[in-house]
Chain A
Amino acid sequence: MTSSRVQTIPWFLTGRNIFLLGFLLFLSLTGSFLFLCYEHYESIKVQALKEDRASANLLSLLLEEHLEKVVKTMEAYASRPLLIQAIRKQDTTKATEHLAKLVATNPGIDSVVLTDKAANLWAIYPVRPEVIGMNLAHREWYQGVSREWKPYISNAMIRLVGEKDLAVHICVPIFDEQGEVIGILVNTQRTVTLSKIIERIPLDVGARSNVTDRKGYLIFSTRFAYDKELKLYPYYGVKSQITYPGDQSIPLPDPLEKGKTRYLSSSPIESCGWSVFISRDNHVLLKEGLHHYLQLGTTVLLIWVVAFGALLFLRNQILVRQIRERLQAERELFRSEERFRATFEQAAVGMALVGIDGRWLRVNQRLCEITGYPAEDLLTKTFQEITHPDDLDLDLDHVRRLLAGEFPDYSLEKRYLTRDGATVWANLTVGLVRDEQGAPDYFIAVIEDITERMEAEEKLRTLNEDLIRSNRELEQFAYIASHDLQEPLRMVSSYTQLLARRYGELLDQDAKDFIGFAVDGANRMQQLIQDLLAYSRITTRGKPPEPLDSHDALGEAVANLQATIQESGALVTTVDLPRVMGDRGQLVQVFQNLIANAVKFHRPEEPPRIHVSAERTGGFWTFRVADNGIGIESKYFDQVFQVFQRLHTRSEYPGTGIGLAICKRAIERFGGRIWVESEPGTGSTFFFTLPEVPDTKGDNK
């Protein structure tokens, strides 16, 4: 598998979390949005109200200035000597002329009235004869001006003459030269004139300007109808709550529109006690900010959409990658599974996945062949069920130790019982597969049919046992031969001789000869038996090879043959002989037999000359025993080493013909070889090889 690790989705992007996150993001953005909107609204409100207050102040200044100017003009007029003179004379015509002039020269003065000190009207411009002679002492303006005989600006009132609309009176007392009050000059100022001044101040949409008199009646309003009758300004009562010079505006419910709030700003006109009010509709403020809020809201929404979109996109990217990796991994898995399946199915050995309980989970064709069960039958069984009872404990013990973690796997040779009850030998190898947590998951078993091998081994074992038994029997036979065969011989020989001894004088020469033959035969028989025994003892009594000094062995052989050698006048010569591997007693016997032969088969005309030497040839020493005897024809080179093979009659050369056979057997026992080269009439050379002493022994000569 290639995808060693799959990228995981951060926790906050999983499942519903991403929507929760989106919602939280939305909440925070909305909160910020609302906060910003509020801040903005507050700031523009503060700004607007500040403007309102500034406007109110400006308006009151303008009005004050205007009224002052009017008062000044009227005062200047009232002090004119001609006017005073006319008043003194009660000359209505003259006075009216003066009044007309005043009106004509001062656009802010609409209509003017002259009264006496007691407020009897006696001149008016524009002329209105019907009002001449009217006493106006009940009028508020008269009470105001007559209080201290100072200029006075009246409250709002409805005009009595002309158009019955709203007006204010500006009154100035007229003094004579002595300072006595001789009359009052009254200007009826229409609010239209004032409104022209007021309207010079531009106001924001939603802001309304209002001017009230001392009692709170509207003199001017851009909001309320005021010029046909006296109207009390609804907010006049809160005037006292507004501190001067203050920078605060107070919110009040809208008297005209339910649920709306208006912010009120105010400024007094000190000279006449009037008040200027500017009220503002907060909804208009909101409306003004609305496009801004929409913009901000759109931006916030956009930010949210982008952010949430980005989160979703990120999550999707990760998901897509995960899916891709999973697909890749699955593809890999499939491929490896495919490979595994092919390997598993086509394996030349039995393979299986085995559950921890021993049940076959998956088996291949070869295993079915080995066990003889079809796969579907095998899968309903456990390995215990088809294991040979004698091998079950061993296998279960291995399984237990494998599960205990004593070894990662094990192999053993065991028997299974096939479907038809036959026994198959198998070489079983079992490995344990653990899951991610390290707990045993299942076993992998490889089962190789080794029945043929086991049968071959069994056969070999049987053969080997047979061989051992046979050897033992041979030994037994040798013993029997040595003991039991000789007894009858002894009887024959001994009693024949006893016969000759006791009754010798009664026997003729023939009888003695016959007895001689019988004894000789028995003796030869015994010799044969003993030679045969000696031959068999080469292996049965042989010792394992050990390092030995062949020179010493030769010396002992010569010593054993001392009598024969002396008798024949033989001469045995040698050079330094090596240390070799072998059985010393047997090597002595080999030398002894070869030298004895050389002495025995010497040419009558020459005394025997025997030379023993050795040379090294690749891991072996080759010994040469050369003589100057009668020699052997080459066709007999092999025959001479066979048991009881003789080339001469017993009368020529005595012996049973066992000597060389014994030599051959002794030499070959150590992996050596023996052979002869010879020329009849010249001599024979017997060769034999023996292994050299391994270097590790360190005592090789």
Chain B
Amino acid sequence: MSKNYVGEAIDILLVEDNAGDARLAKEAMRDSKIRNTLHHVGDGEEAMEFLYQKGKHADAPRPDLILLDLNLPRKDGRAVLEEVKTDDNLKRIPVVILTTSSDEQDILRSYNLHANCYITKPIDLTQFLKVVQSIEDFWLTIVKLPNGR
């Protein structure tokens, strides 16, 4: 596979309060086969501003993919997910939940809110890279669907 597989760069919104995790994600995406622009916000409120293109994010693009951490300051990831999935303009954006815990409750709640995917953040870098890989695969599945017919 080459980077040219997908022509245009996609916009990814990463909602992650942990700078370390955010950096790891950026590092991983940098090496990704997909051309992408990673936008990072630190909390749920800012994520919603980004999505609604408000305030300093007035010029923000509509993201093609949201990587959403569940445990966020100010506005919780679950609330963000709920808002996204109930907004007619936003609900088609695929959301991948990134979280530290494999807590079943989180999983269930997330699925009740129609998250598209759920991924536990692994502790091992190698595994983390696999996760990024799986996001790529997921994305390709998504984008393939409309075109693949």
Q: Report which A residues bind B (CB closer than 8 A).
A: 479, 482-484, 486-487, 489-491, 493-495, 497-498, 501, 519, 522-523, 526, 541
Contacts and interface: CB of A to CB of B under 8 A. Distances in A.
B27 interface: yes
B100 A487 contact: yes
Given A479-B103, A482-B103, A487-B100, A497 B124 contact: yes
A671 B20 CA distance: 46
Contacts of B71: 483
Given A482-B100, A486-B101, A497-B124, 15 more contacts: A479-B101, A482-B101, A483-B71, A483-B101, A484-B100, A486-B123, A487-B21, A490-B122, A490-B123, A491-B21, A494-B128, A497-B126, A522-B123, A523-B124, A526-B123
Contacts of A490: 20-21, 100, 121-123
Contact of B125 (A486, A487, A498): A498
Given A522-B123, A523-B123, A486 B100 contact: yes
Contacts of B128: 494
B20 A491 contact: yes
25 contacts: A479-B101, A482-B103, A483-B71, A483-B100, A484-B100, A486-B100, A486-B101, A486-B123, A487-B21, A489-B123, A490-B123, A491-B20, A493-B124, A494-B24, A494-B124, A494-B125, A495-B24, A497-B124, A497-B125, A497-B126, A498-B24, A501-B125, A519-B124, A522-B123, A523-B123
Contacts of A541: 104
Contacts of B101: 479, 482-483, 486
B18 interface: yes
Contacts, number: 52
B103 A493 contact: no
A428 to B, nearest CB: 47
Interface in B56-97: 71
Nearest to B126: A497
A487 B18 contact: yes
Contacts of A498: 24, 27, 125
Contact of A494 (B20, B99, B104): B20
B68 to A, nearest CB: 15
Contacts of A519: 124
Contacts of B126: 497
Contacts of A489: 123
B125 A493 contact: yes
Contacts of B18: 487
B125 to A, nearest CB: 3
Contacts of A522: 123
Nearest to A482: B101
Interface string B101-139: 111100000000000000001111110100000000000
Contact of B123 (A479, A482, A493): A493
Interface centre among B103, B104, B125 (most CB of A within 10 A): B125
B135 to A, nearest CB: 16
A484 B99 CA distance: 11
A501 B31 CA distance: 13
Contacts of B103: 479, 482-483
A427 to B, nearest CB: 44
Contacts of B24: 494-495, 498
A495 to B, nearest CB: 7
Contacts of B99: 483
A187 to B, nearest CB: 176
Nearest to B71: A483
A510 to B, nearest CB: 20
Nearest to B19: A491
Nearest to A495: B20
A501 B27 CA distance: 12
Contacts of A487: 18, 20-21, 100
B19 to A, nearest CB: 9
Nearest to A502: B27
A486 B99 CA distance: 11
A44 B104 CA distance: 138
Nearest to B128: A494
A493 B18 CA distance: 15
Interface centre among B100, B102, B123, B125 (most CB of A within 10 A): B123
B124 to A, nearest CB: 6
A489 B121 CA distance: 12
A491 to B, nearest CB: 4
Interface string B9-37: 00000000010110010010000000000
A701 B44 CA distance: 55
A156 B123 CA distance: 187
Nearest to B24: A494
Contacts of A526: 123
B90 to A, nearest CB: 27
Nearest to A530: B102
A482 B100 CA distance: 8
A519 B126 CA distance: 11
A531 to B, nearest CB: 13
A487 B20 CA distance: 9
Nearest to B20: A491
A489 B128 CA distance: 14
Contacts of A482: 100-103
A694 B63 CA distance: 59
A541 B123 CA distance: 24
A491 B124 CA distance: 9
A494 B123 contact: yes
A83 to B, nearest CB: 188
A523 B124 CA distance: 8
Contacts of A495: 20, 24
A497 B126 CA distance: 8
A642 B128 CA distance: 34
A315 B127 CA distance: 119
A471 to B, nearest CB: 16
Contacts of B21: 487, 490-491
